[in-house]
Amino acid sequence: METVSTNRSHGGMQGVYKHQSAETGTEMAFSVFVPDHAPGAKLPVLWYLSGLTCTHANVTEKGEFRAACAQHGVIFVAPDTSPRGDDVPDDEGYDFGKGAGFYADATQEPWAKHFRMRSYIETELPALIAQQFPADMARQGITGHSMGGHGALTIALRNAGRFRSVSAFSPIVSPLSCPWGEKALTGYIGGERAAWREYDACALIEDGARVPDMLIDQGTADGFLEEQLKTHLLSEACEKAGQSATIRMQEGYDHSYYFISTFMAGHVAWHAERLKA
């Protein structure tokens, strides 16, 4: 692992790092905020998965998480959203290819070689974080935005017991039921829709997966709400399955980091309460 930059901020250290990923076969960048802590102490970890077109930098620069993470003693990890580099195939749309890995392991060509974001986020990067940072991997939470909210929900639902807390900002709740999801999963996984269910939070809940609780914030003025995000499908799936969830429709907020940063401190506090219990 190589350090790209470190900056002292809010009583902690914000770092950006890169490493050679065995999963994606590319160099991958990520950011980590580590609050000040006693020598030898291990801190809980909050993962933040970003949305379409993002790198680690969007939330690192605009997410306003550091004061809350320092206050609650929580490490904040922000990975990239796809493999990068000249050898990596891409699509002309912003919603597929680079910047749009959908937290899936692709099985279709030409994507299968590099687009292994599920294994990267579920397995490879956690091992690196555990090795390189003062992280207590028995106390992990996960959150994310939009495509990253989809990633947070599906990764937590598939890995029962790994995350003590899961939340999301304006998540894609059902890739099976929206154009972004249909394009990405057809391209990465192929046309057999039954295989998509493990990448769909509503389908996972329908199929019996559970998390202890979830917190969702969704803006009512979000231009993607009706066609892509469809928050009501998650409300219905949770209600039908008896999955505990707090789903808050936030009046007048859009899809941007102005929305995310407004509610970020509240999400960090919500995770911290569960990670410290």
Ligand X SMILES: N[C@@H](CCC(=O)N[C@@H](CSC=O)C(=O)NCC(=O)O)C(=O)O
Active site residues: 146, 222, 255
Of 26, 58, 167, 218, the one binding ligand X (CB under 6 A) is: 58
Only one of the segments 107-115, 141-149, 201-209, 265-273 lies at the binding site for ligand X (rule: CB under 6 A); that segment is 141-149
- DSSP 8-state secondary structure symbol assigned to residue 113: T
- The tokens for 5 are 């930059």
By C-alpha distance, which of 270, 93, 238 is closest to 169? 270
Count of residues touching ligand X (by CB under 6 A):
12
By C-alpha distance, which of 152, 276, 172 is closest to 222? 172
* Phi then psi dihedrals of residue 67, to 5 deg: -60, -45
- DSSP 8-state secondary structure symbol assigned to residue 103: T
Contact 144, 150 (CB under 8 A): yes
3-state secondary structure of 72: helix
The residue among 31 and 146 lying less far from ligand X, judged by its C-beta, is 146
CB of 146 to ligand X, least distance (A): 3
The residue among 17 and 257 lying less far from ligand X, judged by its C-beta, is 257
d(CA 260, CA 232): 19
By C-alpha distance, which of 161, 133, 122 is closest to 43? 133
Site for ligand X in 73-132 (CB under 6 A): 94
By C-alpha distance, which of 98, 127, 109 is closest to 22? 127
Of 71, 108, 256, 261, the one binding ligand X (CB under 6 A) is: 256
Q: Does 173 bind ligand X (CB under 6 A)?
A: no
CB of 112 to ligand X, least distance (A): 22
d(CA 199, CA 158): 9
CB of 150 to ligand X, least distance (A): 8
Only one of the segments 63-71, 140-148, 159-167, 184-192 lies at the binding site for ligand X (rule: CB under 6 A); that segment is 140-148
The secondary structure element, H or E, covering residue 271 is: helix 257-276
From residue 203 to residue 222, what is the string marking binding to ligand X with x (rule CB under 6 A)?
A: --------------------
CB of 235 to ligand X, least distance (A): 19
| Residue 59 neighbours by CB under 8 Å, 6+ apart | 31, 48, 50, 65, 78, 145, 257, 260
CB of 32 to ligand X, least distance (A): 19
CB of 50 to ligand X, least distance (A): 6
Of 46, 147, 156, 214, the one binding ligand X (CB under 6 A) is: 147
Q: Does 154 bind ligand X (CB under 6 A)?
A: no
The residue among 34 and 100 lying less far from ligand X, judged by its C-beta, is 100
User: Which positions touch ligand X (CB under 6 A)?
Assistant: 51-54, 58, 94, 145-147, 255-257
